[in-house]
Amino acid sequence: MTQSEPTPGIPAKQILDVQNLTKMFGGVKAQDQISFSIEKGIVCGLIGPNGAGKTTLFNMITGIYQPDAGKVAFNGKDIRKTPAHRLVKAGIARTFQHVELFSSMTLLENILVGMHVRTQAGFWAAVTRIPAMKREERQSRRRAEELLEFTGLCADAHKMAGDLPAGRQKTAQIARALASEPLLLLLDEPAAGLNPVETHALGKLIQKIKQSGITMMLVEHDMSLVMEMSDKVVVLDQGKKLAEGTPRQIQRNEAVMSAYLGNG
Amino acid sequence: MAIKNNYIRIEYLVFLCAVSAFGFVTENTYYLQIMTFIGINTLLGLGLNMLMGYTGQVSLGHAAFYGIGAYTTAILSGTYGINPWLSLVCAVAAAVFIAFIVGLPTLRLSGYYLAMGTLGFGMIVNIVIREWAAVTGGASGFVGIPVLEAGPLIFMSGANYYFLVWGIVFAAMIVCRRLLASRTGRALRAIHDGEKTAVAIGINTHLLKLEIFIFAAALGAVAGFLYAHFVLFISPESFGFMFSIKIVTMVVIGGMASVWGALLGATVLTLLPEVLHGFAEYEMIIFGTVLMVVMIFMPQGLTRGIMDMIRTAGRART
């Protein structure tokens, strides 16, 4: 995969590079020749009407689907063949459109399990309780508590994740994704189902995450949130890339307007 | 958290005292024998509980590992005269190896397909035991399993074997509990709650499922070893499909996802046939009814059901 190596001498500024990505579902092109790249440290909005292929794109970046053609490079490395669980270790984390917390576990445990790729203790360490395992467990707990504080969820630490109100579950998903210490965080409709107050809080959280140096991709239908948060917006429509640019450029783009509002 | 941990320690201490007290006080060999069987069944329940209760992977072939453990030690120590303690190591190794080979493809399956796969495996093992008569004694069973000895101790009398079995059960419970309270345990429960999400947060679910399948198999083999050297005569029926179902029933009745559930389930399912001696032909009907009643009224199993009842009663009083 020499083609995907970064050019020597020039530091890789792009954390994610997608080239001509294509995915077929039974003859239907869910993704057609999509190309774009994301620079380190920015928030990239990904918008488009329902069925445009936003979630499919997320699923390919996170290794859940294998693309039929094209390439995806993360930090200069080709990741098309990397299994999903290894990509998390490499630094790609995500949240889901529909909240998928582990509902029979407490919130704290959800965060702890989110640290899976950054911790080591295995079977024998757990059974023998070696000091290294105990130390790791203590550190994990401390880090989990920090994350809960960061996301404003401290009060719910010991509640069952499934019992939390919907808005808090959405935030908890982000906290769990952050627990894996990602370099790139993909948020799939984090504001769906949130009330305006919660959406405002979410915006603040996204900014805090950005300040901590994590690159984000944001799929969202709440346009004001996307336009406010994003440094760059990619627009998909029917599996094709329609436009790419700053929020300002996108808002003025006629093709985008007609895709959203119809041609009438 | 510290308080909670202390409670758990007290639970185990009470359990240890109760088991020891029973062992020292009881003279009746029949009771000791029943209790020993409960211990052996608890080991089986504990293993399957880790796989089914915590990880959510249904196995309908768990009795196969019990059989592999029992027959490996029977053949090695009975036919070839190898020291039984060494044959225990071999029995566990055999179960681990077979679980690895079987689990590698099977655990890619999920839900009903996994149940069917393990069901088939259980049947194959049983057929091999039945048909490989030259080595296993076939349908008429294996005779001549040596008695366990350790220095001056002979594990034959009721009390000695009772303490051996319950010592191992206690150790296994501690191992399970430690495992569950760890990073691995959390990942197992995550698989139970949502396997796809577990993958998406970076858990190698296939590997972890394989690990816990092997762990359950190893516990099953230890149970088989203990059973073989206790009854000294084994036959294929003890390790068949019906027994696999019985272990599943133990886990479900006792309560999935509770270490105590395995103990309670094993106790109920070992005692029931003894209590219902006169109704031997209706045994399966009674098991089925008990399973149905528990599933309807206490879907979380007896352990959780009883705990909830105590809690509601306490709340009603205040």
Q: List the single residue in A with minimal CA-CA distance to B184.
A: A122
Which of A102, A126, A180 has its CB closest to that of B202? Answer: A180
- Kindly determine whether residue A129 and residue B178, on different chains, have CB atoms separated by under 8 Å: yes
Q: Encode pLDDT of B16-27 as tens digits.
A: 888 888 888 888
Rounded to the nearest angstrom, the minimum Cα separation between B201 and chain A is 6
pLDDT of residue A264: 43
With CA atoms as reference, the chain B residue closest to A175 would be B201
* Two tokens, residue B301: 């199993």
CA distance B205 to B257: 18
Measured CA to CA in angstroms, residue A74 lies from A8, A80, A91, A94 at distances of: 16, 10, 9, 14
Instruction: State which residue of chain A sits closest to B178, comparing Cα positions.
Output: A127
Q: Count other Cβ atoms within 10 Å, centred on residue B146.
A: 17
Residues in chain B: 318
Which amino acid is present at B188? L
Å between A91 CA and nearest CA of chain B: 10
Encoded tokens for A99 = 């909240």
Name residues of chain A where pLDDT drops below 70.
1-12, 261-264
Residue-wise pLDDT tens digits, B189-244:
999 999 999 999 999 999 999 999 999 999 999 999 999 999 999 999 999 998 99
Q: Is the pLDDT of residue B159 over 90?
A: no
Best A96, A104, A113, A129 residue to mutate vs chain B (most B CBs within 10 Å): A113
DSSP A42: -
For helices B158-180 and B259-275, the axis angle rounded to 10 degrees is 150
Q: Which residue has the tokens 């395992």?
A: A133
- C-beta separation of A14 from A40 below 8 A: yes
Measure the CA–CA gap between B42 and A145, rounded to whole angstroms: 37
Q: Provide the token pair at A232.
A: 């760059």
**Going by C-beta distance under 8 Å and a sequence separation of 6 or more, which residues neighbour residue B263?**
B42, B45, B169, B173, B254
Is 0.95 topped by the overall pTM? no
* pLDDT of res. B216: 96
* pLDDT given for residue A122 in this prediction: 86
Domain boundaries, chain B: 2-240
The pLDDT value given to residue A262: 64
Residue A98: closest C-alpha in chain B: B197
Q: For residue A252, count CB atoms less than 10 angstroms from its CB and return exposed for 0-12, middle for 13-18, buried for 19 or more.
A: exposed
Q: Which of B54, B96, B201 to mutate to test the interface with A (most CBs of A within 10 A)?
A: B201
Q: Over chain B, what HEC string results?
A: CHHHHHHHHHHHHHHHHHHHHHHHHCCCHHHHHHHHHHHHHHHHHHHHHHHHHHCCCCCCCHHHHHHHHHHHHHHHHHHCCCCHHHHHHHHHHHHHHHHHHHHHHHCCCCCHHHHHHHHHHHHHHHHHHHHCHHHHCHHHCEECCCCEEECCEEECCHHHHHHHHHHHHHHHHHHHHHHHCCHHHHHHHHHHHCHHHHHHCCCCHHHHHHHHHHHHHHHHHHHHHHHHHHHCEECHHHHCHHHHHHHHHHHHHHCCCCHHHHHHHHHHHHHHHHHCHHHHHHHHHHHHHHHHHHHHHCCCCHHHHHHHHHHHHHHHHC
**How many Cβ pairs closer than 8 A exist between chain A and B?**
94
Could you tell me whether strands A14-25 and A69-74 are parallel, antiparallel, or unpaired per DSSP bridges? Answer: antiparallel
Which two three-digit tokens encode residue B274?
């003894």
Phi, psi of A30 (to 5 degrees): -80, -30
Other beta carbons less than 10 A from residue A28's beta carbon: 10
| CB spacing of A100 vs B182 below 8 angstroms | no
**Residue in B179, B265, B190, B183 with CA at minimum distance from that of residue B214:** B179
B interface toward A at CB cutoff 8 Å?
175, 178-179, 181-187, 189-190, 192-194, 196-205, 211, 215, 257
Query: What is the pLDDT, as a whole number, of residue B296?
Result: 79
How does pLDDT run across B246-305, given as a tens digit for each residue?
999 899 888 776 788 889 989 988 888 888 777 777 777 887 888 788 877 777 777 777
For chain A, first and last CA: distance in Å?
47
Chain position carrying tokens 């029949």: B30
Q: What are phi and psi of A207, to 5 degrees?
A: -65, -40
**Cβ contact (<8 Å) for A104 and B199?**
no
> Is A37 in a helix, a strand, or coil?
strand
Q: Quick check: helix, strand or coil at residue A55?
A: helix
SS3 of residue A232 by DSSP: strand
d(CA B87, CA B70): 10
Distance CA A199, CA A230 (A): 15
Q: Would you state the structure tokens that stand for residue B300, as one six-digit string?
A: 């979380």
Q: Which of A41, A40, A45 is nearest to A76 (CA)?
A: A40
Dist. CA A256–CA B25, nearest whole Å: 83
Q: Do A104 and B179 touch (CB under 8 A)?
A: no
What is the DSSP-derived secondary structure letter of residue A159? S
Tokens of residue A54, six digits? 């936003």
What is the per-residue pLDDT for A12? 53
**Are A196 and A173 in contact, with CB atoms under 8 Å apart?**
no
Angle at CA B291, nearest 5°, toward B285 and B296? Answer: 125
Cβ atoms of residues B78 and B145 within 8 Å: yes
Q: Could you tell me where the DSSP H helices lie in chain A?
A: 54-61, 84-90, 107-114, 123-128, 131-151, 166-179, 196-211, 223-229, 247-252, 254-261
Query: Residue B200: its chain A contacts at CB < 8 A?
Result: 62, 64, 84, 88, 94, 96, 100
pLDDT, residue B282, reads: 79
B254 vs B124, more confident: B124
Look at residue B22 in the predicted model and tell me its pLDDT. 86
Go through the domains of chain A in sequence order and give each one's CATH number: 12-91+182-263 (3.40.50.300), 107-179 (no CATH)
Q: Mean pLDDT over all residues of chain B?
A: 88
In degrees to the nearest 10, what's the CA dihedral of A209, A210, A212, A216? 80
Q: Are B302 and B294 in contact (CB under 8 A)?
A: yes
Pair A259, A72: CB distance under 8 Å: no
Residue B53 has pLDDT above 90, yes or no: no
